[in-house]
Amino acid sequence: MKIALISPKGPLYRRSGGVFKKSLRYQPLTLTTLAALIPAELKPELQLIDEGIADMPDNLDADLVGITVITGTARRAYALADALRQRGVTVALGGPHVTLLPEEASEHADTICVGYAEDAWPQLLRDFAAGRLEKIYRQSEDFSLADKTDMPFARRDLFDKRDFLTQAVFEATRSCPHDCEFCVAPAAWGRKQYQKPLDWVMADIRQFIARTGQRRILFVDLNLVADKAYARELFTRLSELKVQWFGLSTVLIGHDRDLLELMAKSGCKGLLLGLETVTPSSLRDANKRFNSSIDYRALIADLHRLGIAVQGCFVFGLDHDTPDVFDATVQFAIDAAVDLPRFAVLTPFPGTPLFHRLEREGRILTRDWELYDAQHVVFQPSNMSARQLADGHERAWKEVYRWRAIGQRLWRAGSLNALGLGANLGYRFYARHLHRFYTCDWPLDSRWSLPWQAARSLAILPEHRSVCG
Ligand code: B12
Ligand code: SF4
């Protein structure tokens, strides 16, 4: 059976003309995991296409195409799916956006997969081979990763390693027990964290090290410390592997000194923290009050003392944010010596509590999913105009990645080394080219947002077309 798996491009994330250069690009696990799950008895002839690194072939030859869809790539995914189906190719769609909006996705697919696909995808393929494909495959109620001791490892080797900064990407857990208002994870997959068997996780890392000799690895888990017992066991076992690793955690790690030290001892060299905002009342807006229990500066200093660099993520546009939030956040990132600051525009991804609230309040400005990439403003902010938010966000990126600011941050952090500098240079490029994506006609001047919205809902105006695609 000829099977092609596609990860569609978005305006910022694409082979040419994007801003996500190789220095920031690690290899996602989505397509390589799906590839590994294909039953061998189907004798698959496989093709993996990640439009972030390669163009679509003109005449894709496949019996079945599986496309992964996140909200920002939904428009592109649907266009590809429609074109392929017109040529008689069977199309399956899956991923976070399909899980959030199954009815919409169904209109563009022969079949869809809702939720995690470790059980559903092999079933879907067997049904296709037997000529009894169903319209929808769902993650079962009792889905678990803990019992999947013989899961195949992701087929990382199917991509050319030269296209990525690293292929050493791993996953131990999925989803997160918190319920931040803007987050896709609890909305799509619920608040139960799914945990892979630790023997399996270790075996995956070991076989990768044996094959490549690389000992610097990255975890894409959304919250590695959600379950402290699991995290403790994971870190203990990572120590045995003598790896250096990078991953994501909530700031709550600051409450557990022992776990923090164990984390450092296990080889953690970098942690992405969702700091979100320097405006305390905005943490309440985001239903992320637990962040206020931690002194960010003290935590960052502690992490630095333990040799762990901090990628601090902030979001702009929360309801208590005023136009001075941009400068305040940049200044905080410099003063607190955040090694790698990242800014995003608050984005009401469909299916999240934030989307439902803003929709009730009449503040959603567009449903053009291509603009839902956390770099465009797609809703009416409460204390500034959409334009102020877009401009302030872009300015903040530029400011925090000025040479002087990079130097100050890294010097204070004590991480003025090749790794710290390399990552900062990657983001400096990103920061300095972001404006290209605001050359499209969005966001509108807020004076026009609401009349535009009204006109469009009466179908007087066409759907927004960005020049980015
Ligand atoms: C790698 C990654 C990226 C990569 C590539 C993403 C892509 N596919 O295009 C890059 C760096 C480009 C990226 C960018 C962004 N990302 Co991202 N990213 C991830 C990350 C960290 C890991 C993905 C991964 O490898 N997961 C492991 C695999 C095994 O899980 P999976 O992808 O969910 O796949 C499983 C199922 O969903 C299903 N499945 C998935 N696809 C398909 C397809 C078929 C046919 C089938 C049958 C099944 C199926 O099967 C798999 C096995 O169960 C996830 C978080 C996470 N841990 O998942 C966020 C995540 C996907 N990203 C997210 C976001 C918000 C973004 C950004 C907006 C962030 C930003 N500020 O820049 C941008 C948007 C880019 C855009 N074009 O709009 C959100 C998705 C939100 C949404 N509704 O779309 C996630 C879920 C994180 C989160 N909690 O918010 N991201
Ligand atoms: S802590 Fe992070 S991953 Fe968990 S719900 Fe909040 S934003 Fe999402």
Based on the fold, state whether residues 268 and 395 are members of the same structural domain. Answer: yes
Residue 457 has pLDDT above 90, yes or no: no
Inside any domain, residue 147: no
pLDDT at position 433 is: 87
* Residue 379, both tokens: 């809703």
Cα angle 48, 105, 467 (rounded to 5 degrees) comes to 75
Mean pLDDT of 119-130: 98
CATH number at residue 335: 3.80.30.20
Tens of pLDDT, residues 427-444: 999 899 887 765 445 565
Determine contact, residues 334/409, Cβ cutoff 8 Å.
Answer: yes
The number of the ligand nearest the C-alpha atom of 193 reads 2
Q: Any idea which of 95-109, 390-404, 424-438 has the lowest mean pLDDT?
A: 424-438
pLDDT at position 444 is: 56
pLDDT at position 24 is: 66
Q: Any idea which of 17-31, 147-161, 197-211 has the lowest mean pLDDT?
A: 17-31
Average pLDDT, whole number, for the chain? 92
Mean pLDDT of 71-95: 97
Inside any domain, residue 160: no
Inside any domain, residue 48: yes
Distance in Å, CA 178 to ligand 2 centroid: 6
Q: How far apart are CA 11 and CA 439, in angstroms?
A: 12
Based on the fold, state whether residues 368 and 261 are members of the same structural domain. Answer: yes
C-beta of 66 in contact with ligand 1 (< 6 A): yes
C-beta of 178 in contact with ligand 2 (< 6 A): yes
Q: How far apart are CA 406 and CA 396, in angstroms?
A: 13
Q: How confident is the model at residue 419 (pLDDT cuts 50, 70, 90)?
A: confident
* Residue 409, both tokens: 């941050």
pLDDT at position 418 is: 87
Based on the fold, state whether residues 227 and 307 are members of the same structural domain. Answer: yes
Determine contact, residues 218/169, Cβ cutoff 8 Å.
Answer: yes
Which ligand 1 atom sits closest to the C-alpha of 121?
47
Based on the fold, state whether residues 106 and 224 are members of the same structural domain. Answer: no
Which ligand 2 atom sits closest to the C-alpha of 183?
8
Which has the higher per-residue pLDDT, 445 or 290? 290
C-beta of 185 in contact with ligand 2 (< 6 A): yes
* Domain enclosing residue 359, as ranges: 168-438
Residue 461 has pLDDT above 60, yes or no: no
Distance in Å, CA 386 to ligand 1 centroid: 26
Distance in Å, CA 188 to ligand 2 centroid: 12
Based on the fold, state whether residues 183 and 87 are members of the same structural domain. Answer: no
Mean pLDDT of 454-463: 44
Inside any domain, residue 454: no
pLDDT at position 25 is: 81
Determine contact, residues 22/422, Cβ cutoff 8 Å.
Answer: no
Distances (CA, A) of 452 to 366, 446, 447, 449, 469: 10, 10, 9, 5, 22
pLDDT at position 10 is: 82
Based on the fold, state whether residues 56 and 183 are members of the same structural domain. Answer: no
C-beta of 64 in contact with ligand 1 (< 6 A): no
The domain total for the chain is 2
pLDDT at position 442 is: 58
Residue nearest to ligand 1 atom 91, measured at CA: 28
Residue 66 has pLDDT above 50, yes or no: yes
Residue 65, SS3 per DSSP: strand
Nearest C-alpha neighbor of 276 from the set 222, 329, 352: 329
* End-of-domain residue from the set 119, 138, 157: 138
DSSP 166: B
Q: Which residues of 293-310 are buried (b: 16+ CB within 10 A; e: fewer)?
A: ebebeebbbbbbeeebbb
Based on the fold, state whether residues 320 and 189 are members of the same structural domain. Answer: yes
Mean pLDDT of 1-18: 84
C-beta of 349 in contact with ligand 1 (< 6 A): yes
Q: How confident is the model at residue 17 (pLDDT cuts 50, 70, 90)?
A: low
Determine contact, residues 275/313, Cβ cutoff 8 Å.
Answer: yes
Determine contact, residues 65/57, Cβ cutoff 8 Å.
Answer: no
Based on the fold, state whether residues 403 and 255 are members of the same structural domain. Answer: yes
- The torsion angle over the Cα atoms of residues 201, 203, 205 and 209, rounded to 10 degrees, is 180
pTM value?
0.94
Based on the fold, state whether residues 102 and 33 are members of the same structural domain. Answer: yes
Amino acid at the residue 112: I
Residue 280 has pLDDT above 60, yes or no: yes
Inside any domain, residue 445: no
Q: How confident is the model at residue 22 (pLDDT cuts 50, 70, 90)?
A: low
Tens of pLDDT, residues 26-62: 999 999 999 999 999 999 999 999 999 999 998 899 9
Distance in Å, CA 338 to ligand 2 centroid: 20
Residue 366 has pLDDT above 70, yes or no: yes
Residue 465 has pLDDT above 60, yes or no: no
Based on the fold, state whether residues 192 and 324 are members of the same structural domain. Answer: yes
C-beta of 223 in contact with ligand 2 (< 6 A): yes
Q: How far apart are CA 182 and CA 163, in angstroms?
A: 32
- The torsion angle over the Cα atoms of residues 284, 290, 295 and 296, rounded to 10 degrees, is -80
Residue 383 has pLDDT above 80, yes or no: yes
Inside any domain, residue 55: yes
Inside any domain, residue 458: no
Inside any domain, residue 461: no
Distance in Å, CA 311 to ligand 1 centroid: 19
pLDDT at position 59 is: 87
CATH number at residue 42: 3.40.50.280
Q: How far apart are CA 250 and CA 178, in angstroms?
A: 10
Q: Any idea which of 128-132, 388-392, 420-424 has the lowest mean pLDDT?
A: 420-424
Based on the fold, state whether residues 235 and 86 are members of the same structural domain. Answer: no
Interhelix angle 386-400/446-457, rounded to 10 degrees, is 120
Determine contact, residues 153/143, Cβ cutoff 8 Å.
Answer: no
Based on the fold, state whether residues 6 and 58 are members of the same structural domain. Answer: yes
Mean pLDDT of 218-231: 97
